[in-house]
Amino acid sequence: MDLERALAFAAARNKGVLITLRRDGRPQSSNIVYVIDGPVARVSITDDRAKTRNLRRDPRAVLHVNSDDFWSYVALDGVVELSPVTTTPGDEAGRELAEIYEKAAGKPHPDWDEYFEAMVTEKRLVLRLRATSAAGMTR
C-alpha cells in the first residue's frame, strides 16, 4: 500500500493498536490514542508499561488502524523513538505531551497545571513511530 495514502487514512482517525515485540519475539498489542504529524505517529505512553520496555529493547513497531466500519484498515510499519520521561511540570517532554493531548482531544485541557503534574506523576513520555512502509486495504 502507498505510504502517503495509509498516513492520510490514519490521520483521519486517532485510535489504533500498537504492536511491539516481546523479548521472546511474540507480538504484544496495546490499544492507543495517537496523532499523525507527517510520517510520524505520536503517542503518550507511561514509562512502566510492557510496550515501553519492549520498545527500549527493540524499537520496531506497527500501528494498526481500523475504519469505523472495521472493513478498511492500514498497518504502519516503522521504528520508534522515545522521548525522555517528563520530570518537571511543563518541561520539553511535557509540552509535547500537551500538544498530543490537544490534537487528539480537539481542544485544550481545562487545567494545564493539573495536566502537567499528572504527566510527571504518571511518568509519561512521547512515543514517535516514523512510518517507513504500510500495508492494508481501504475502500
Q: What is the pLDDT of residue 13?
A: 98
pLDDT over 90 percentage in the chain: 99
Q: What is the pLDDT of residue 19?
A: 99
- The Cα–Cα gap between 93 and 126 comes to 7
- The Cα–Cα gap between 43 and 63 comes to 11
Q: What is the pLDDT of residue 41?
A: 99
What would the pLDDT profile of 54-97 be if each residue is shown by its tens digit? 999 999 999 999 999 999 999 999 999 999 999 999 999 999 99
What would the pLDDT profile of 5-16 be if each residue is shown by its tens digit? 999 999 999 999
* Angle subtended at Cα 32 by Cα 50 and Cα 105, rounded to the nearest 5 degrees: 140
The reply to whether 32 falls in a domain is: yes
Report whether pLDDT(51) > 90.
yes
Report whether pLDDT(139) > 90.
no
The reply to whether 137 falls in a domain is: no
- The Cα–Cα gap between 89 and 72 comes to 40
pTM over 0.85: yes
DSSP state of 24: T
User: Domain tally for the chain?
Assistant: 1
CATH number at residue 20: 2.30.110.10
- Which residues constitute the domain of residue 67? 3-132
